[in-house]
Structure 1
């Protein structure tokens, strides 16, 4: 028996009957199994070693080019993975599936956070970062070959947001863990930025969750574990769900849609629009590996893939290189 087979056997012996078992997973293209890792463990490793995941360290969570101590997409993804694994373990579900999906859920996110996503939607008519994340792992990584992830991980990545729910309990954990992470950590960053103070929180939110991010996370995670235990669903209690919705409304009003940040949001959207128009009109300026994709995907989608993959700082630098005159002068 290989080490992998031993892990797969223990999953059947020890995990909940409701857990997704790695031995039952399927891929688009069949592969020889690994002697040491289950399929979900291999998916996790492929995501971590992907170019798209590495770029997340320079992609905005909320604040544009914010500095060293604010969350970026990579730290957000790691925090989602930590929260999701805690919940999965508490419910005796598959931690490896949960971790892989959590790490990969934002690999298709644009530069400048949801501002960039909205700009891409204005350009293309339809664009969602969860769909782009699936596109990245399915088609764009590994020079167009994709990562050949399991169907279960791809389903959780695609459905971590949007109308459709994931087909596995592990995927549902990631969906709610994503919200827990961004609410609590964006609140923490808002305090650090001087935009929020704890006494600004709605009364019910402060009473149920507390005012410290770590306590807030603990309250939501423990409620989810206790409320979902023994059920074929991942849910929160009615009171905690109501308070989370109120917390979310508060964050949209004070941070995500704050009027005094509108100028910066417009600048970021302008960069996205202008870069897209430039590369669509000058496809010869695209990197060679993207130029090779035009025959397969068409120019509009190829340019969209390129722009969506840029980091914040590289998008700004590219804009400056193309459109800002040099300030160097001779003696």
Structure 2
């Protein structure tokens, strides 16, 4: 019995009967098993070592071009993984599957966060970052070969947001962990930016969750573990669910849709729209690997794939290169 087989055997002995088991994981393309890592551990490693995950360090969470201590998409993804693993461990569910979904859930996010997502949606009529995340891991990574992830991980990535829910409890944990992370950490960054103060929180939120981001996370995580214990569902108590809903409404009003951040959101959308128009009209300027996919996917999809993969910094650099006149030295 090798290390992987021993781990798989331990999962059946230790984990909840409702947990997803690595031994049962399914891939579209069969491949030789690793002697040391389970299927879900390999999925996590493939995502973390991917180019799309590395690019998240330069993609906006909320604030465009922020200071050193503000969240970016990579730090958000790692924080979702930490929160979600805590819940999974408390419920004796599969931590490796939970972590793999969490680190991969945002790899399809555009530059400039949701501003970039909305810009592409306005341009082509339909664009959702969760669907693009699935596309990235399924088709675009590894030079167009994809990562060949398990069905359980791909389902969790696709359904971490939107109307459909994941078919595993681990995926449902990440769906909740994502919301906990972005609410608390965007609130923390809002305080750092001087846009919020703890006393601004509605009483219906502060009385239930508190005002300290760390304490808020603890309250919500503890509530999910307690409410979901021994059940084939991930549950949040009505009291905490109501407070989370009010918290989310507060954050949309004060941060996500705030007038203060609107100028930067408009600039970001303008950059994305101008780049899209340029590459649609000048497809020969796309990198060769994208040009080679045009026959299979069509020009619009290829352009969207390229733009969605850009980091904030690179998108700005390309905009300046294409649309801003060069600065020449002036003699006096």
Structure-2-length-normalised TM-score: 0.99
1:210-221 aligned within 5 A: 210-221=210-221
Unaligned runs of 5+ in 1: none
The 5-angstrom pairing of residues 214-293 of structure 1 reads 214-293=214-293
Q: Name the SS for the 1:236 alignment partner.
A: coil
Mean Cα displacement is larger for which, 35-44 or 262-271?
262-271
2:6 corresponding residue in structure 1: 6
SS of equivalent to 1:208:
helix
Q: Deviations over 1:69-97 (max 9, x none)?
A: 10000000000000000000000000000
Aligned twin of 1:309: 309
Bigger drift between 286-295 and 96-105 goes to 286-295
The offset of 1:328, in angstroms, is: 2.1
1:197-241 alpha-carbon deviations (Å, 9 max, x no partner): 000000021111111100000000000000000111001000000
**What residue in structure 1 maps to residue 131 of structure 2?**
131
User: 1:2 Cα deviation (Å)?
Assistant: 0.6
Quote the Cα distance in structure 1 between the aligned partners of 2:158 and 2:239: 28
In structure 2, the partner of 1:43 is 43
1:20 aligns with 2:20: yes
- Is it true that 1:168 corresponds to 2:168 in the alignment? yes
Which consecutive segments of 4 or more residues in structure 1 shift more than 4 A? none
Q: Which residue in the other structure is 2:86 paired with?
A: 86
Q: How many residues align?
A: 331
Secondary structure at 2:261 match in 1: helix
Between the aligned partners of 2:257 and 2:204, the Cα distance in structure 1 is 22
Q: Hey, what does 1:198 align to over in structure 2?
A: 198
| Alpha-carbon distance between aligned partners in 2 of 1:328 and 1:57, rounded to the nearest angstrom | 32
RMSD: 0.6
Quote the residue 1:140 is aligned against. Answer: 140
Aligned match of 1:118: 118
What's the TM-score once normalised by structure 1's chain length? 0.99
1:272-331 CA-partner distances (Å, limit 9, x unpaired): 000000011001101111111111111000000000000011101110011001122253
Q: Distance in 1 between matches of 2:212 and 2:258?
A: 22
Partners in 2 of 1:67 and 1:146 — Cα distance?
A: 33
Once residues 196 and 305 of structure 2 are traced to their aligned partners in structure 1, the CA distance between those partners, rounded to angstroms, is 35
1:8-54 CA-to-partner distances (Å, cap 9, x unmatched) read: 00000000000000000100100110000000000000000000000
Q: Distance in 2 between matches of 1:230 and 1:19?
A: 11
